[in-house]
Copies of this chain bind each other. A is one copy, B any other.
Amino acid sequence: MTLAEEMTELARQAKAASRSLAALSSDDKNRALLAMADALESNGQRIQEANTQDMQTAAGMELSPAMQDRLKLNEKRITKMAEGLREVAALPDPVGHVLEERTRPNDLKLQKISTPIGVIVIIYESRPNVTADAAGLCFKSGNATILRGGKEALQSNQIIAEIMVNAAKEKVPAFPEYAIQVVPTSDREVVPTLLSLTEYVDLCIPRGGEGLIRAVAEASKVPVIKHYKGVCHVYVDRDANLEMAESITLNAKLQRSSVCNAAETLLVDEAIAPKFLPDIVDRLLEQNVTLRLDQRTREFLPNVGERAEDATEEDWTTEYNDLVLAVRTVHGLSEAIDHINQYGSAHSDSIVTGDEARARQFLNQVDSAAVYWNASTRFTDGAEFGMGAEIGISTDKIGARGPMGLEELTSYKWIGIGSGQLRT
């Protein structure tokens, strides 16, 4: 079989499985998820053996130590995967909800009902735990998954999927075995080939660095839901409580600087700059944050000198994922909004102010997936939003936007219930 034939067959089987999944009861889905969780734990040894093979391959691949660490599966991480599946089992089934209901003048009753999407391709890098997490969320929402992880994690990903499928089949005979499939080859042509199969594949969710995601979006003929990066802003308005502004800035930058909802740029209203900037800059420098200041900001900081760097145009669009923060002083709210809409990544942005009118203007006009008033940008997260779990975050506007939990893995259909209605 050629690669194209092999991928077509895999996708066709996934589509067929998705039809059977749509008919599984919530109970059956939950029993299968719990069986999968138990099986991952009881087969921890097998998983670690496969993972050791991957680690050996990776050692020859010049992966960074951080990538190698992400690849590793120890007992604790296996338990965490199992717990994740149990949490998903405990969440409400997102399928079959009546989202809207209306009866037309001709007595035709219309219901808008949540449905699975169908077949979802997940493309990701080294962490093999994504295999269990993503497959679990997709399965609970009635979707078949095709998982395409990194070459370096192939053995781990395959054994995880195999254990999950076998445990589910044993517990729930109606479980369709092609509901969860790991692409069995690391051929580079897999991605463009799979993502051209619009007849079978309904959605692709890529997870990883900006390079991976841009390559997937560029290659795909099927819809892709994604975020390229998180260039998030905290804007400190003239009416901000300065203590709150300081703690939100520090939290947004420092609580976990390597993630997409961490702040990368601090915008300060010039009316408050003389009061706010000296203190916050000292706090950030104390925490070893490298600062990149625009010229206006420097004017309010006569003593900062070489303790801070100068910002360039490039800084405004950069996701540092590190202890670096760009700082810009703006001439009020409109300039802040324009800056965010022009340079930001439409991910998560926050205003700190005591003035409701200006807060509302910010919340309305900043065109981002999540906008905050007097709260840290770090809250953009499925668990923090009460979704229970998250498969990713979207900055797209078609389909899900913001954190994606189970509901965001559904589509809908219209059901019309009549008694012989004809169109006239």
Given A397-B203, A401-B413, A223 contacting B221 (CB threshold 8 A):
no
Q: Are A374 and B341 in contact (CB under 8 A)?
A: no
Q: Which of B217, B244, B368, B423 contacts A384 (CB 8 A)?
A: B423
Residue pair A398, B367 in contact (C-beta under 8 Å): no
A413 touches B368 (CB 8 A): yes
Which of chain A's residues 95-144 have a Cβ closer than 8 Å to chain B? 102, 104, 108, 110, 115, 117-118
A351-392 CB contact bits vs B (8 Å, 1 = yes)? Answer: 000000000000111011111111110111000111000000
Minimum C-beta distance from A230 to chain B (A):
14
**Given A378-B423, A397-B203: A371 and B416 interface contact (C-beta under 8 Å):** yes
Q: Report which of B22, B368, B411 forms a contact with A365, defined as CB distance below 8 A.
A: B22
Give the size of the chain A interface in residues (CB under 8 angstroms).
65
Centre residue among A22, A248, A369, A415 by max chain B CB count within 10 A: A415
Q: Decide if A423 touches B251 in the complex (CB within 8 Å).
A: yes
Given the interface contacts A370-B413, A413-B370, does A248 sit within 8 Å of B385 by beta carbon?
A: no
Given contacts A19-B365, A411-B397, contact A379 B416 (CB under 8 A): yes
Determine whether the beta carbon of B402 is less than 8 Å from that of A413.
yes
- Looking at A218, A370, A397, which has the most chain B CB atoms within 10 Å of its CB? A397
Judge if A45 is at the interface, Cβ distance under 8 Å.
Answer: no
- Determine the residue in chain B with the shortest Cβ distance to A338: B19
Q: Copy number in this complex?
A: 2
Contact of A412 among B365, B401, B417 (CB under 8 A): B401
Q: Is the CB of B19 within 8 A of A418?
A: no
Q: Name which of A398, A415, A416 has the most chain B CB atoms within 10 A of its CB.
A: A416
Residues of B within 8 A of A322 (CB): none
Contact among B378, B379, B423 for A379, CB-based, below 8 A = B423
Q: Does A274 interact with chain B (Cβ within 8 Å)?
A: no
Residues of B within 8 A of A380 (CB): 414
B contact residues around A22 at 8 Å (CB): 364-365, 367
Instruction: State whether A108 touches B375 (Cβ < 8 A).
Output: yes
- Contacts A19-B367, A371-B414, A376-B421; A223 near B386 (Cβ below 8 A): no
Whether B241 and A420, one on each chain, are in contact in the complex, defined by CB atoms closer than 8 angstroms, is yes
Query: Could you say which of B19, B202, B364, B373 contacts A416, with CB atoms under 8 Å apart?
Result: B373
Q: For the complex of A and B, list the 3 residue pairs with the smallest distance between their C-beta atoms, beginning with the closest.
A: A375-B418, A378-B423, A397-B411
9 contacts across the A-B interface (CB closer than 8 A): A118-B367, A223-B398, A247-B422, A248-B422, A367-B413, A373-B415, A373-B417, A375-B418, A378-B423
